[in-house]
Every structure is written in structure tokens, then in C-alpha cells.
């Protein structure tokens, strides 16, 4: 009988060792992201934030997400998708070996768009009008060589004012 007791004791010891190694020191947060009609929202960005880390998961085609091997503690879960309001769940407590199953429902939100235009406004004086003409070279120099007569201007062009090297001509 002592042999049977020894085998039984050994079996219990092995069974206890196996069951204690099956316990984990981490937990899981998992669930689905759905709209208000219960349809899955694939592509939703789901973020879980702990004390010293942040993980992000993109929901699968069936709206499922999961965060594995989370250390025990309190977490904040945020889920968002364009065109829907962002859902926030605070104080999700994860215990060792526990799976927190969380269904997240997103509401349709109003589409908002912001357009920012950055350009300098033109300088326009709406109260004053006028015309200006700028002559960049002497019209006499553009005349054909045969039309020039020494240093005198063409008969149709008369200088009316000279300031330094700038001469203003008037067409007659």
C-alpha cells in the first residue's frame, strides 16, 4: 500500500504544479465595437491606456478587439472612428487571469469640418483711385537707327521733366 500512496502523492504533486503554472499574472480586455443598430464597426481604433503604457488595436472585420497580457491594474479604454463619437470607458479593472469582456457602442456624430486659410490679404485702398504708368527705358532708344537724329529726341517725343538720370517724355 505504501507504493500506491507514493504514486498518489506524486500524482497530486504534479497536478498541483501544473495547475499553479496555468495561472497567469496578467489579464485581458476583449470585446466588440458596434454601432447603435448592433452592426460591427471594422477599422475602429481602440486604445487601452494603463499607468505606464498605451496600446492601440484596430478592430477586425467583425468589430472584435483584444488586448492580451495586461498587468493587473486599472485601465482607460478609448474607441473612435471617423463619423462616430468617441467612446471612453474609465477605471476598467483587470485582475490576474481575468478577461474583461467589454462591448463598445459608438453613436453617429455630426460631420464637422474645419477649413483654415492662411494667405496675406492684398493691400487695396478702396477710397483712392488713380492710374500710374512706368517707363523703364527711353522711347527714343527703341526707335529704328535711321529715325534717330544725333542726341535729339524724335520730333514726336518731347522731354517734359528731367530729374537726375531719369527723364520723363511726353508723346505729342
Nearest to residue 55, comparing CAs of 34, 28, 83, 93?
28
Nearest to residue 66, comparing CAs of 39, 104, 95, 38?
104
More confidently predicted of 46 and 154: 46
> For residue range 65-105, what is the model confidence (pLDDT) as tens digits?
999 999 999 999 999 999 999 999 998 999 999 999 999 99
pTM assigned to the model? 0.53
DSSP bridge pairs for 45: 58, 80
For 10, 47, 99, 112, 123, the CA distances from 166, given in Å and listed in that order, are 115, 72, 89, 59, 28
Q: Which domains does the chain have, with CATH numbers?
A: 25-106 (2.60.40.1120), 139-171 (no CATH)
Amino acid at each position: 500500500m505504501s507504493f500506491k500512496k507514493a504514486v498518489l502523492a506524486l500524482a497530486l504533486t504534479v497536478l498541483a504544479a501544473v495547475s499553479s503554472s496555468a495561472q497567469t499574472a496578467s489579464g485581458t480586455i476583449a470585446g466588440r465595437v458596434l454601432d447603435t443598430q448592433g452592426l460591427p464597426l471594422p477599422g475602429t481604433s481602440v486604445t487601452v491606456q494603463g499607468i505606464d503604457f498605451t496600446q492601440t488595436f484596430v478592430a477586425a472585420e467583425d468589430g472584435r478587439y483584444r488586448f492580451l497580457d495586461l498587468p493587473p491594474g486599472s485601465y482607460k479604454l478609448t474607441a473612435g472612428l471617423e463619423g462616430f463619437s468617441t467612446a471612453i470607458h474609465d477605471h476598467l479593472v483587470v485582475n490576474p487571469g481575468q478577461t474583461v469582456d467589454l462591448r463598445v457602442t459608438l453613436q453617429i456624430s455630426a460631420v464637422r469640418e474645419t477649413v483654415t486659410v492662411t494667405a496675406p490679404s492684398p493691400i487695396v485702398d478702396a477710397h483712392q483711385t488713380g492710374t500710374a504708368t512706368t517707363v523703364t527705358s527711353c522711347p527714343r532708344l527703341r526707335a529704328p537707327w535711321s529715325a534717330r537724329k544725333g542726341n535729339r529726341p524724335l520730333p514726336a517725343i518731347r522731354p517734359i521733366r528731367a530729374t537726375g538720370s531719369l527723364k520723363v517724355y511726353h508723346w505729342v
